[in-house]
Amino acid sequence: MAAADYRAVLLTGRPRIGKTTVVRDLARRLSARRLAGFYTEEIRHGGLRVGFRAVTFACDQVTIAHVDFNQASRVGKYGVDVEAIDRLADETLGLQPGVDLYLIDEIGKMECLSQRFVGAVRRLFDASPWIVATVARAGPGLISEIRHFPGVILREVTPGNRDGLAGNISLWLEERLRGTDG
C-alpha cells in the first residue's frame, strides 16, 4: 500500500514515551481543522498518578479511571468508569459530517472495557475517515485487530522521533486534506 492510500496513523510505544504529547501537538498544529475525539491526561495527587481523565476537543472533561473508584471493572490499581467511557464514545467518536480528523488517545485496555467504545472505533475505521490514534503496544481484541485494518500505518514513538512526529504527520495530513476541501 502506498503512503497516499493510508487513512489512519496509529501511534504506539512504551508507556510515558510521549504518545499523548504527540496527539496534543498535532491537535494544536491542526487547530484550524474540525477535530473530533479526545486525548487523555493523568490525574496526579502529591506527585503520584491516581487516575486518568479524557479531554474532548470541545474542552469537556471526564474522569475515566481512578484509584478511588470502587468499580467492578479494573485495570491494575484503577477502577474504570465504563459508563463514562460509553458516554465519551457516544459524544466524540460518532461519524460526524464535516469532521476533518478524528484523534483518539487512546485505544487501550481501559477504553476497550466499553463495548460502545469498541464499536465506535470499529465503525470509524470501517468508514475510513482520517484518523490518528494511540494504541497500546499489545493487548487482545480491538488492540490487536486495529493494527491490521486496511489503510492503517503504525508508527512507534521513540525518544528520537517524538519531537518531530506531530510536525511530520500534520504536514502529511494537510497535504491530503487539501485534496478533500471543497
Q: What pLDDT score was predicted for residue 154?
A: 94
Give me the tens of pLDDT residue by residue for the chain, a chain 182 residues long: 455 567 999 999 999 999 999 999 999 999 999 999 999 999 999 999 999 999 999 899 999 999 999 989 999 999 999 999 999 999 999 999 999 999 999 999 999 999 999 999 999 999 988 999 999 998 899 999 998 888 899 999 999 999 999 999 999 999 988 876 65
- Write down the pTM of the prediction: 0.92
- The span from the CA of 95 to the CA of 66, in Å, is 29
pLDDT at 128: 84
Q: How far apart are CA 95 and CA 119, in angstroms?
A: 12
- Return the residue matching grid coordinates 486496511: 150
Q: Which DSSP symbol is given to 90?
A: H
- The pLDDT value given to residue 1: 42
What's the confidence (pLDDT) of residue 148? 87
Side chain identity at residue 107, one-letter code = I
CA–CA dist 111, 138 (Å, integer): 14
Q: 3-state DSSP call for residue 107?
A: strand
